[in-house]
Amino acid sequence: MDIQTIKQRFGIIGVSSKLNRAIDIATQVASTDLSVLIMGESGTGKETFPQIIHQLSPRKHNNYIAVNCGAIPEGTIDSELFGHEKGSFTGAHDQRKGYFEVADKGTIFLDEVAELPLSTQVRLLRVLESGEFLKVGSSKTQKTDVRIVAATNIDVLKAVHDGKFREDLYYRLNTVPIHIPPLRERKEDIILLFKKFAQDFSEKYRMPPIKLDDSANELIYNYRWPGNIRQLKNVTEQLSIIEQSRLITGVELKQYLPIYEGQKLPALYKDSVDSQTFSSEREILYKILFDMKKDMNDLKRVVNGIVNKDEIHKTYVENPDIINSFYEKNGFIESKQAEKEFEYDTENNFQIQDTEEFVEESLSIMDKEIELIKKALDKHKGKRKAAAVDLGISERTLYRKIKEYDLE
């Protein structure tokens, strides 16, 4: 089956050589039982390629199961994948088959495979090596004959280096790698995709299809498209519904294209880290500590300049902002209270009076981590998903931290 036929069958739009290369690899590997790892940014259409592999394989008449590993809670992922015995845990009222048992003789697609906990990665490695698995709560080994296709949108080698993904599992899954190019690397397909989406939404909403003028064509061609095909489809649908004119100008289109200056998500696995984006929640805590240290050094420079009583008044007059800012930023006392600490005697000698007891703040990373988690949960009224976004970590990581620090 040639590439053009496959595109028509699976609804793939594009003429990019990189896209054609990915389709060709999927076609060639389909007839084998080799494991495949599909890599590409979010929104590039990775979910289509496991279907190509399954439908062109000898397993096409058996089950095909797609599993989003990032959407299943860590506490139930083993049960979902491998099943469980009755009474194996609270709520296990009956025996349950897992996906690997149901997909026997077929294909299982593990999307966001890098989100799997390390304990589950060990179980998955055993399936890949020997075709064996254990149900949760069982000591009886079961066999399964499953073709595994996995996908991820992160740098897996970086995750391996950080200890978040097993190296042996990576090489087992990566027997045949397929890279799906982002939309910015297949610019020749952007206009084709836009026209296809515009026609689809025209039929769906029963209205004339939208078109782009020259300025809009240039803008859509040169935009980076961080959300890839998914973002392009969403923008096309918004334009189709909201804009009254069927001819879209560059000025109108620009309102639907957010300025993109950040790094690609998920940030936890990126190499580069700037002042706004951090690779882990631990680095956020480090930044807070470094900022505090800078404030302490600023205050020390002021205090060291006070060498005798005659210079005290002059030093405070010249540097009140530094002292007051330090107190305000670290929550010790307000600036007005800071002013009250500095008084003069009858001979115009400047004196410092202690008006408040200061307690040395803990610099423990764990304490700061607990404090930040509590503040985020309080801010969002216990909503963990919103708190996780505010902290810059995944919801699963937040759930694990809450359990680890007993913050229920």
Residue 191 and residue 174 in one domain: no
* Of 127, 160, 181, the domain-final residue: 181
Closest CA to 281 of 293, 266, 292: 266
d(CA 159, CA 121): 13
42 occurs within a structural domain: yes
Residue 373 has pLDDT above 80, yes or no: yes
For residue 277, the model assigns a pLDDT of 43
Q: Tokens 């949760």 correspond to what residue?
A: 136
> Domain holding 220: CATH number?
1.10.8.60
For residue 276, the model assigns a pLDDT of 43
Residue 54 and residue 107 in one domain: yes
Residue 60 and residue 48 in one domain: yes
Residue 371: both structure tokens together: 């404090």
- Percentage of the chain with pLDDT > 90? 59
d(CA 353, CA 289): 28
- DSSP letters, 116-155, are S-HHHHHHHHHHHHHSEEE-BT---EEE---EEEEEESS-
Residue 12 and residue 161 in one domain: yes
Residue 344 has pLDDT above 80, yes or no: no
Residue 395: both structure tokens together: 């919801």
65 contact partners, CB below 8 Å, separation of at least 6? 99, 102, 103, 106, 107, 108, 109
319 occurs within a structural domain: yes
Closest CA to 22 of 41, 42, 3: 3
Residue 222 and residue 238 in one domain: yes
- For residue 383, the number of C-alpha atoms closer than 13 Å in the C-beta half-sphere is 7
Helix, strand or coil, per DSSP, at residue 110: strand
Residue 16 and residue 47 in one domain: yes
pLDDT grade for 269, boundaries at 50, 70 and 90: very low
382 occurs within a structural domain: no
Closest CA to 131 of 35, 53, 26, 58: 35
For residue 61, the model assigns a pLDDT of 96
Average pLDDT of the residues of the chain: 83
85 occurs within a structural domain: yes
* Of 299, 330, 346, the domain-final residue: 346
For residue 12, the model assigns a pLDDT of 96
Q: What spatial distance separates the first Cα and last Cα of the chain, rounded to whole Å? A: 56
Residue 122 and residue 247 in one domain: no
Instruction: Decide which of 226 and 90 is more confident.
Output: 226
Least confident of 260-269, 290-299, 395-404: 260-269
- Whats the size of the chain, residue-wise? 408
Q: What is the mean pLDDT of residues 344-362?
A: 49
pLDDT grade for 214, boundaries at 50, 70 and 90: very high
264 contact partners, CB below 8 Å, separation of at least 6? 41, 226, 270
Q: How many structural domains comprise the chain? A: 3
For residue 88, the model assigns a pLDDT of 81
* Of 346, 364, 385, the domain-final residue: 346
**Omega prior to 258 cis, within 30 of 0:** no
Residue 140 and residue 36 in one domain: yes
- Percentage of the chain with pLDDT > 70? 77
Residue 36 to residues 43, 44, 47, 158, 200: CA-CA distances in angstroms? 19, 17, 13, 19, 32
d(CA 284, CA 276): 10
Closest CA to 111 of 36, 172, 21: 36
d(CA 183, CA 228): 5
pLDDT grade for 257, boundaries at 50, 70 and 90: very high
d(CA 213, CA 222): 14
Residue 260 to residues 137, 159, 224, 277: CA-CA distances in angstroms? 48, 25, 8, 14
Cβ atoms within 10 Å, residue 232: 20
For residue 196, the model assigns a pLDDT of 96
Least confident of 32-46, 159-173, 310-324, 338-352: 338-352
Inter-residue contact 320 to 305 (CB < 8 Å): no
Q: Choose from 93-102, 259-268, 278-287 the range with maximum mean pLDDT.
A: 93-102
Q: What would the pLDDT profile of 230-248 be if each residue is shown by its tens digit?
A: 999 999 999 999 999 999 9
Q: Report which secondary-structure segment, H or E, holds 64.
A: strand 64-68
Residue 51: both structure tokens together: 């279907």
- For residue 82, the number of C-alpha atoms closer than 13 Å in the C-beta half-sphere is 28
Residue 289 has pLDDT above 50, yes or no: yes
Instruction: Decide which of 402 and 98 is more confident.
Output: 98
For residue 281, the model assigns a pLDDT of 58
Residue 247 and residue 322 in one domain: no
Residue 121 and residue 176 in one domain: yes
Residue 348 has pLDDT above 80, yes or no: no
Residue 127 has pLDDT above 70, yes or no: yes
Residue 112: both structure tokens together: 């966001």
Closest CA to 51 of 37, 39, 31, 66: 66
Strand partners, 362: none
Residue 159 and residue 195 in one domain: no
d(CA 184, CA 382): 39
Helix, strand or coil, per DSSP, at residue 132: strand
For residue 324, the model assigns a pLDDT of 58
Q: What is the mean pLDDT of residues 36-46?
A: 96
Q: Choose from 218-227, 273-282, 343-352, 386-395 the range with maximum mean pLDDT.
A: 218-227
372 occurs within a structural domain: no
For residue 314, the model assigns a pLDDT of 56
Residue 168 has pLDDT above 50, yes or no: yes
Tell me the whole-structure pTM to 2 decimals: 0.63
For residue 371, the model assigns a pLDDT of 85
Amino acid identity at 99: Y
For residue 381, the model assigns a pLDDT of 84
- DSSP state at residue 188: G
For residue 402, the model assigns a pLDDT of 85
pLDDT grade for 288, boundaries at 50, 70 and 90: confident
